[in-house]
Amino acid sequence: MSSIGTGYDLSASTYSPDGRIFQIEYANKAVENAGTVIGIRTKDGVILAAQKLLDSKLLVSGTAKRILTADMHIGMASAGLRADGKHLQTRAREECKNYRDNYMSPIPLKHLSDRLGSYLNAYTLYSSVRPFGISTVISSCDKNGPQLYAIEPSGLYWGYQATAIGKGKQLAQTELEKLNFDELSMRQAVFEAARIIHLVHDPTKDKGFELEISWIGKDSQYKHVHVPAQLYDEANELGKTQAESGRMQE
Amino acid sequence: MNMSNNFTSWGRPFTDAKMDMYGGDVTQRYQLGAQQMTVPDDKFSEGVQKTQQPIVTGTSVIGLKFKDGIMLAADNLASYGSLARFKDIQRLYGVGSNTIIGAAGDMSDFQHVQHQLDTLITDEYCHDDGHSLGPAQIYEYMSTLMYHRRSQLNPLWNAFVVGGVDPKSGESTLAYVDLLGTTYSAPTIGTGYASMIAIPLLRRLVEDRQEPLNKEDALDIIKTCMKVLFYRDARSLNKFQVATITKEGSEISQSMSVDTEWGFAEGIRGYGGQTQ
Amino acid sequence: MSFSPYTQNGGTILAIAGKDFCVVAGDTRQSEGFSIQSRYETKVWRLNEKATIAANGFAADCKQLVKRVKWRLETYKHAHNREMPLKSIARMVQTMLYGKRFFPFYSYVIIGGIDDDGTGAVYGFDPVGSYERETCRAAGAAQSLLQPFLDNQIYFRNQQPADPTNPPIPGTLPLDNVLAIVTDSFTGATERHIEVGDALEMYVVTNSNCDLGALQQITQSATKTDLEQVAREEAEFNGPKSCKTFKLLRQLKKD
């Protein structure tokens, strides 16, 4: 970190001489340390999966969810500072409500990502604020078909066939690239997502975690919901065994 | 002779309707509604308008309780005064999966309420905490909303019937809310004309019934009432929808109609209109 | 033609205090004009172990008022770790009613219960908060029918006492007499007033010394749905010596 001590990293409103804004890069560091989140877009719908790292064994399972809902048809999962993620959900909820108030129809995901992108970007322009320490994957499925976007701390956003953010990003992306998205069903994607989340987790090194999976599309009546308990258990168990046997072979 | 256009005062000593036990007019004594006069005037006060009358209106809504839940009905007409302006308007609206409301009165106010309820349901959905709003909660929300607006002297010009079954307890709710914030629940409900024409029928066929009322018989009763309403209510249409809510869920039917018989009209004399 | 924010929903309410109890009653008909809206819509609500409120007039205002009173009692409980005493509830209600002096709650309110020294008490209000403690009060559509009857039966007006040296004292009638008077009042009002009828709810607030014989007799003779102990769980929590509230339901004519 050659930038430390130069003074150019103290404010989001100051460039370094080589044209970088270090506060944004530090925000990205917060993302890289967080539990992995992946999103997969299939032909019938979109799957989100999150690895919720458990800071304490005393936490009640199934609480403090990482995959959140912003509207009937919109799911979101952030990697990074949890509080920033919750705040962005509140903002996303307002944007969705605002769009419905004005246009009497559900917000298309490309509009929401643009609005949230602008919101995050505003926090990179002033010395009085800090950028959001999160990347966020958002999912939707409406008359525009299944859509998947990821927004970065800078405010940049991209549309994806599949994406991963957080700690296990590299390995997860390699795994995602192997999938055949033309053939993949929503159900299969749930299993793939579970497998990959377990795969990027190293039980000897990392903290324990809880897997979360949500979907939206044909199989969920086009509402964003956590997957049914039975499917979740199946995918979680199978994912765990697959990841273990994968590690054995190495 | 005081001929009031307020039918509730017919047949009573002419001031009795408004008088309390001391013979005083309560509305004057306590200056009820005095706020209207005390609102401060500014340059723009003439430009500020509140709803003073409904414009595009729907007529009656009826509802009944049967063995497994609630059945509601409303016709598809939205009138512009005496003009049958829109003949394919849906006046029944699902709120969440266990509640349906039926609306009479101003249709733009109704659309506003639909939107408010949508926002409420979506907000609740986003909490993702395993709770959902049942008919009793929707009823309370609408009562608060309507009473709040009447207290601002800016009412939503509607009468609503709220029907639903709580999916957990199986308890059914059939209730009424109107522009004054007046609320009540009962085994049979009718708004406007239906409170005079359909309620006597509904009370006889539903409340006085000895054996439990099943869905098929309930639908027959609803159809009978809609037919009589169509015969007598000049702002009604023989095209209506029926909503059924049970523990399993809710549905709003396609539009339907009933067979009518107007042959008797030929022989009627003496109600005006004819010259001989 | 401008919007009027008021209507009248008929019905009538009544409360009578005894030495160690108080009866608060109301019919359950709600109407507007000549239409009966509901045959079972309550106008009497239990507030706490020592207080019950009845409100009558414009139903929406009444319900809103009672909702606010209940909310204030709840916050009072959390702030002071005790129930608000009856006389304080009465004073609070006057403040709430007068607070809307220039856009009043069109509500006639009666509060009945047990006061600080254990005797039955009734407080009667007008819609803008004028109030006084009384032995009995009728309000609502049939007030003009019931109040003269109560003046005669409870205050013993226009009666020659059997023993002029020892005239009867208002507020000392036993519970069974009072219940009979309340029932007769409402059957009478039902006969002569079109807005009164359907059913009668009587809340009996008792202090720990009250002889419940009259209620026990009713329990034995009546069907189970006719008598319901409202505060059962609270009474058990507070021990056998605390105040109990009972609710009696009687059918009235429905025509």
Give pLDDT tens digits for A140-197. 999 989 999 999 999 999 999 999 999 999 999 999 999 999 999 999 999 999 999 9
pLDDT grade, residue B11 (50/70/90)? very low
Walk across the sheet containing B69-75 and list its strands.
Answer: B188-190, B61-66, B69-75, B240-246, B249-252
Residues of A in contact with B115 (CB under 8 A): 100-101, 104
B&C contacts, CB < 8 Å = 83
Is the pLDDT at C215 greater than 90? The verdict is: no
* pLDDT, average across residues C8-27: 97
* pLDDT, average across residues A33-47: 97
* pLDDT, average across residues B11-24: 48
Through-space distance between the first and last CA atoms of chain B, rounded to whole angstroms: 33
pLDDT score for A91: 98
- The minimal CB distance from B182 to the residues C3, C7, C143 is found for C7
- Does the annotation count B183 as an active-site position? no
Those residues with Cβ within 8 angstroms of residue B201's Cβ, 6 or more apart along the chain or in another chain: B221, B224, B225, B228
Is the pLDDT at C6 greater than 80? The verdict is: yes
Q: What span, in angstroms and rounded, lies between the C-alpha atoms of B177 and B163?
A: 11
pLDDT score for C237: 43
Task: Give the DSSP per-residue string, B122-173.
Answer: HHHHHH-SS----HHHHHHHHHHHHHHHHHTT----EEEEEEEE-TTT--EE
- State percent of chain B over pLDDT 70: 82
Residues of A in contact with B118 (CB under 8 A): 100
- The minimal CB distance from C104 to the residues B8, B30, B199 is found for B30
- What is each CA distance from A56 to A30, A59, A205, B4, in whole angstroms? 20, 6, 16, 75
Name the β-bridge partners of A137.
A77, A150
Is the pLDDT at A53 greater than 70? The verdict is: yes
- When mean pLDDT is compared across B41-55, C122-136, C169-183, the lowest value belongs to B41-55
Q: Do chains A and C touch (3 or more CB pairs under 8 A)?
A: no
pLDDT score for A1: 62
Q: Is the CB of A93 less than 8 angstroms away from the CB of B119?
A: no
pLDDT score for C246: 86
* pLDDT, average across residues B158-181: 96
pLDDT score for A55: 87
A22-249 has which fold?
Answer: Glutamine Phosphoribosylpyrophosphate, subunit 1, domain 1 (3.60.20)
Residues of A in contact with B119 (CB under 8 A): 97, 100-101
Q: Is the CB of B126 less than 8 angstroms away from the CB of A71?
A: yes
∠ CA B78-B81-B82, nearest 5°, is 90
Is the pLDDT at C108 greater than 50? The verdict is: yes
Active-site residue identified among B51, B122, B224, B260: B51
Residues of C in contact with B32 (CB under 8 A): 5-6, 103-104, 106
Amino acid at position B48, single letter: V
- State percent of chain B over pLDDT 90: 75
Q: Is the CB of C64 less than 8 angstroms away from the CB of B181?
A: yes
pLDDT grade, residue B52 (50/70/90)? confident
* pLDDT, average across residues A37-50: 97
* pLDDT, average across residues C133-155: 97
pLDDT score for A249: 76
CB C2 within 8 A of CB C88: no
Is the pLDDT at C153 greater than 50? The verdict is: yes
pLDDT grade, residue C213 (50/70/90)? confident
CB B167 within 8 A of CB B98: yes
B26 Cβ under 8 Å from any chain C Cβ: yes
> Where do runs of H (alpha helix) occur along C83-204?
86-98, 143-153, 175-192
In chain C, domain spans:
12-251
Of B107, B113, B170, the C-alpha closest to B136 is B170
Q: Provide ipTM, 2 decimals.
A: 0.92
Interface test with A, best of B115, B118, B122, B124 (most A CBs within 10 A): B122
pLDDT score for B273: 62
A96 Cβ under 8 Å from any chain B Cβ: yes
pLDDT score for C225: 46
- State percent of chain C over pLDDT 90: 80
Domain C12-251 has CATH 3.60.20.10: yes
Name the β-bridge partners of A67.
A77
Residue ranges of domains in chain B, CATH in brackets: 56-250 (3.60.20.10)
**Cα atoms in the 13 Å half-sphere on the side-chain side of C235:** 15
pLDDT grade, residue A57 (50/70/90)? confident
